[in-house]
Chain A
Amino acid sequence: MATKLKEVDAVVVGMGWTGAILARELTKAGLQVVGLERGQDRVPGGDFVLPAVRDELRYSQRLELMMDNSTDTLTFRNRPDDQALPVRRIGAFLPGEGVGGSGIHWGGLHWRFLPTDFRIRSTIAERYGAKAIPDDMTIQDWPVSFDELEPYYDRFDKLCGVSGQAGNLRGTRIEGGNVFEGPRSDHYPNKPLIPSSAGLMFASAARNLGYHPFPMPISINSAPYVNREGITLGACEYCGFCNRTACEANAKASPNVTVMPVLRLEPKFELRTRAWVGKLNYDKAAKKVVSVTYTDLRNGEEYEQPAGIVVLASYVFGNVQHLLLAGIGAPYDHATGNGVVGRNYAYQFEAGAQAFFDDKHMNSYMGSAANGMCIDDFNGENFDHAGLGFFGGGYFSCNTPAAPPISGRMLPHGTPLWGPEWKRATVKWYNHACRFGTEGSVYANRDNYLDLDPTYKDALGRPLIRLTYNGTDNDHKMSRYLLGKLEGIVKAMNPTHYEMEPRPKNFTIVPYQSTHNTGGTIMGADPKTSVVNRYLQAWDAHNLFVEGASVFPQQHGYNPTGTVGALAYWSAQAITTQYRNSPGPLVHG
């Protein structure tokens, strides 16, 4: 039997990006908060240190900071009629584990969605007619607008010390920034980083073609910066070991660096690590989660933690799994299209190119992999889709490839992969190559969803989440169109050699693509088609707030975390200023 603990004001399940933000905002408002994290604690000074962090094998290949698949994973299949099989070692996406979650080893590409993204269904209907939207494309408007969210985007920018160049300041367009972005209330906290050689060439080629290049907004401080918590963040050292590792300079924003130092000092906060939450205890009649049950992995004991407010911040897959297991919200039924939990899973539809320049020294082992130049001319509704046969889009980028030698070497396709010729080609091209990406949207489809696997279980004996996902015709068409446009820019850069890299026909669970999983507990204005309301409050459990990208109705053409962080602040504000004073549904469905 689980030992029942004393009730607290709020319990937070998962101490990654959103868990840390919520715990901070709730304690700041005077609530007693317990944070439960199933992984280990990680502290910048102790765990993010030279030389240990600059170890490509340990972090990038052996995935030190990622979730432990021996205890938990998911199962995967491309289509509803395939047999799903377990992901035995994660690959396509790499959720983290331990304090900081995926926020330690993320890339730091820090974006806002477009104003039109928030009302994408309406926008498409207005522009192309409602009939233009295919029946199986289950996209929805967000129940919150860009303008409502903007102050919270700004807060998250100022937590992280984002570096970038504004392109739309309170309605005034600024050349050199992203002229397509929604109006910002303020500049980026930091100026852009020094551009890479490849980035400069890309920007110049793009500009000559009439596009609008700008520096990638990144959660990497270009200069020392005191964030909104009063914590001094360091300046980027251009060390080249940004990928899948922690930042020794405290320049790449992570929960551990930007929030945890103040949270740890907060007497109203208690952190419990190696505390694996297995269950939300749901009182259906009262429409409340009365407590959560967790296993303390250090002693094998089960504990029940009652709480007035439950914040679910256990990443996309954990969030959906907890709701399905507790029976909160109707599970999505693929056969009928009814039900909501697990519905509208989406991913990121990336493709790209590689180019080789025999006369240029890229020195790409210097710099952050996130640092690059972009264009946004082919994202969302920034371009006319009439007659194109698809909706959606994505930004293009040319990043410093940050070429660590195991994973970052590039060779022209068709080069032998071993032997003397491989050696010669590797020596010839290693320092002379760069990479491009198109960050494609994924517009939700009725065949892509999450549910519980009927066969495989995690170490707590719970059914694994089953992912059913494949690229749709719409998204493939979108991606091919973007690649065609990208090719024009790549060609204009005059490479010795280049190759376009379209997506394979089927989504594959290896190799790495992005940890941009979204949906499954989506937010909306109608309980029939959403799991949480505009404040991320569960329609069926008013004291439950679900955080993270699982609330995205679909995925747009940008990395998710800028919006994830903004929504965390937005929902924290609703909890501390509204829910706390009158607990109950904040929106009546």
Chain B
Amino acid sequence: MAEETIPRRKFLLGAGIAGTAVATGLSQAEPAAAAAQAQAPAAAAAQPEPLLALNETEHAFVVAAVDTLIPADELSPSGSDCGIATFIDRQLASAWGGGAKMYRAGPFHKGKPEQGYQLALTPAEFFSAGIAAANAWSRKTYGHDFDRLSPDQRVEALKAMQDGKAEFADFSSRAFFARLLAIAMEGFFSDPIYGGNRNKVGWRMIGFPGLPATYINLYEEYRDKPYVVEPRSIADFS
């Protein structure tokens, strides 16, 4: 495929900024590259971190997904600019991502929804399999991998997954979406120490002040009054 001559991650980095250009159906490589150059200072902040768990294709999916779930607007930068793709990559490489504290003995049965998660897959394996299934479905439905869809198509595709209407081969699109959304939100709102919520953007957006030493003297003073401070994170205390 011709477009693969541009390394996928570089492409994406541009696409986040020049998303509308992609949507107009221009040749995909040029506007992206041009935009990446034109926007060099802004993009520098979002230089991709080295990947620990995701491969390039998976990372491209994750970036496109989190930028659709948390689009850039006046309230916050895009999901990937907030570090959420980095967060997800690191989480999947963590002990948790590797299935720590998870019971993985068989036999395996589908079970009822009331019985919760019943797969052998660790979170890292689940996302890897889920992204592959999502991209296969996206190619079948739209002719491209998910990260190459227009912004409107991405929204439509994620909605189809959310409602379980996207028919993935041998994988539940609804379950995949639920976990994708959950981990994206964790990346937006967890302490920046994990790579997401970069510059505390998620906390700033909602007015969460982060870690206090104590609120004992502020609790009554701010009753029914807005309490606006520069949020503090673990690093600020360390």
Contacts and interface: CB of A to CB of B under 8 A. Distances in A.
Interface of A: 50-52, 54-57, 61-63, 66, 68-70, 73, 76-78, 82-83, 85-89, 91, 194, 197, 235-241, 249, 360-361, 363, 365-367, 403-406, 409, 417-420, 423-424, 426-427, 430-431, 455-457, 506-510
Contacts of A404: 208
Interface of B: 68-71, 73, 75-76, 96, 99-105, 107, 109, 111-119, 155, 158, 162, 181, 184-186, 189-191, 193-194, 202-203, 205-209, 211-216, 218-220, 222-227, 234, 236-238
Contact of A89 (B102, B184, B208, B222): B102
Contact of B211 (A51, A57, A406, A424): A51
B105 A365 contact: no
Contacts of A236: 216
A366 B207 contact: no
B103 A70 contact: yes
B109 A85 contact: yes
Contact of A50 (B102, B109, B193, B213): B213
B194 A57 contact: yes
Contacts of A78: 112, 114
Nearest to A88: B103
Given A54-B234, A87-B116, A70 B104 contact: yes
B226 A510 contact: no
B94 to A, nearest CB: 8
Contacts of B162: 417
Given A360-B224, A405-B208, A419-B71, A508 B116 contact: yes
B225 A361 contact: yes
Contacts of B70: 418, 423
Given A70-B103, A418-B158, A430-B208, A506 B116 contact: no
Given A55-B191, A361-B224, A418-B70, 15 more contacts: A50-B213, A50-B237, A61-B190, A70-B104, A85-B111, A89-B101, A89-B117, A91-B116, A235-B216, A241-B211, A361-B225, A366-B212, A409-B189, A430-B207, A508-B114
Given A73-B103, A431-B207, A423 B189 contact: no
B212 A406 contact: no
A241 B101 CA distance: 23
Mostly, the A contact residues are loop
B109 to A, nearest CB: 6
B115 A77 contact: yes
A239 B214 contact: yes
A426 B76 CA distance: 12
Contacts of B226: 361, 431
A457 B214 contact: no
Contacts of B209: 365
B206 A366 contact: no
A406 B185 contact: yes
B102 A366 contact: no
Given A68-B101, A88-B102, A238 B214 contact: yes
